[in-house]
């Protein structure tokens, strides 16, 4: 049996501490499948960036991110700066797991380990935001800071509910901000926006109808910007999103596809990169096509929730949904 050397980088507090509880079983399963795995447990912010970069420099065949979207974001940042990058494996054991959800990577740790053992990879686009990277979503404006302001202990205790609790707390502070958005090949928009989202995949904060045709293999971002609206209109749109109803045709929503976009403002607007704090505007966002090789199901049959049976999640993530990549209208 061919032996693969892997470095598993895990967040001990992710997903109600599931990684920590399952670690011995995970290592045993990978070992039986021919993956010789050593571990690094993160202790503080930025730790996974350093560990992933070091794993690339040490010549590991595979780097595995075990945790949530925040851990994955740091691993991607640590790997993306290098010219020669090993395969990226994912054990989605966090709270939301947007990237895994979009690509059908199984939620059950046993099935996710078996996926790693089969070692089937696909090229995936990565987003660059100034000198940082993201693999799933970037955003700024009202409510986008919510994901990184939720305390880790609260997520450990109540899971996804923690985000809804924080959202209710912040909803009264909603306000528009004047921003100038310059999209390559599309145009320039200088007006008041509530928020903007730059989607690389079709799962955003656990919802797959915000950017249903977004693909990590088309070399394009799906950009959504919510124009100035009142609280009632914002709640109406948020309710539609939570129900899984499409919002791209709503007059308050600007939507288009592009590979490079610059956003600036005179105000202080914080950035969210894959659910983590990503600095402040101004920022230039650019697609790095096929930048990482990510391990997925070779048949496109794994589902995030059950491990089998949902072809659409991978089909949508890779752009094979039969709807094409038609450009939205600003």
Q: Which residues are catalytic?
A: 276
* String of DSSP letters for 226-287: EES--HHHHHHHHHHHHTT---TTSTTEEEEEESEEEEE-SS--EEEETTEEEEESSEEEEE
Q: Distance between CA atoms of 270 and 146, rounded to whole angstroms?
A: 11
End-to-end CA distance of the chain: 54
Q: Are 207 and 101 in contact (CB under 8 A)?
A: no
Q: Distance between CA atoms of 297 and 303, rounded to whole angstroms?
A: 9
Residues 6+ apart with CB under 8 A from 92: 68, 99, 100, 101, 105, 106, 107, 112, 304
Give CA 187 to chain center in angstroms.
26
Ramachandran region of residue 308, left (φ > 0), alpha (ψ -120 to 50) or beta? Answer: beta
């Amino acid at each position: 049996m061919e032996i693969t050397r892997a470095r598993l980088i895990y967040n001990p507090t992710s997903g109600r501490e599931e990684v920590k509880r399952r670690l011995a079983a995970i290592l045993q399963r990978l070992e039986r499948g021919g993956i010789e795995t050593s571990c690094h447990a993160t202790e503080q912010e930025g730790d996974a960036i350093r560990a992933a970069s070091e794993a690339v420099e040490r010549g590991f065949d595979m780097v595995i991110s075990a945790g949530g979207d925040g851990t994955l974001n740091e691993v991607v940042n640590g790997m993306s700066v290098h010219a020669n990058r090993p395969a990226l494996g994912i054990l989605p054991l966090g709270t939301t797991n947007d990237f895994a959800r979009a690509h059908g990577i199984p939620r059950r740790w046993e099935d996710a380990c078996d996926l790693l053992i089969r070692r089937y990879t696909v090229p995936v686009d990565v987003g660059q935001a100034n000198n940082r990277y993201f693999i799933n979503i970037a955003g700024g404006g009202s409510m986008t800071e919510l994901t990184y302001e939720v305390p880790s202990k609260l997520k450990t205790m109540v899971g996804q509910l923690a985000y809804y609790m924080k959202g209710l707390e912040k909803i009264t502070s909603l306000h528009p901000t004047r921003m100038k958005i310059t999209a390559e090949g599309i145009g320039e928009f200088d007006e008041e926006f509530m928020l903007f989202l730059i989607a690389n995949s079709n799962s955003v904060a656990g919802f797959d109808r915000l950017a249903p045709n977004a693909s990590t293999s088309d070399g394009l971002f799906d950009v959504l910007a919510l124009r100035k609206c009142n609280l009632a209109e914002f709640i109406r749109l948020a309710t539609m999103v939570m129900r899984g109803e499409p919002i791209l045709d709503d007059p308050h929503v600007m939507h288009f596809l592009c590979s490079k976009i610059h956003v600036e403002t005179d105000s202080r607007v914080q950035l969210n990169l894959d659910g983590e704090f990503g600095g402040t505007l101004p920022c230039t966002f650019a697609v790095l096509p096929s930048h990482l090789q990510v391990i997925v199901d070779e048949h496109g049959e794994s589902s995030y929730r059950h491990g089998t049976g949902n072809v659409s999640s991978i089909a949508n993530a890779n752009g094979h949904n039969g709807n094409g990549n038609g450009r939205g209208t600003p």
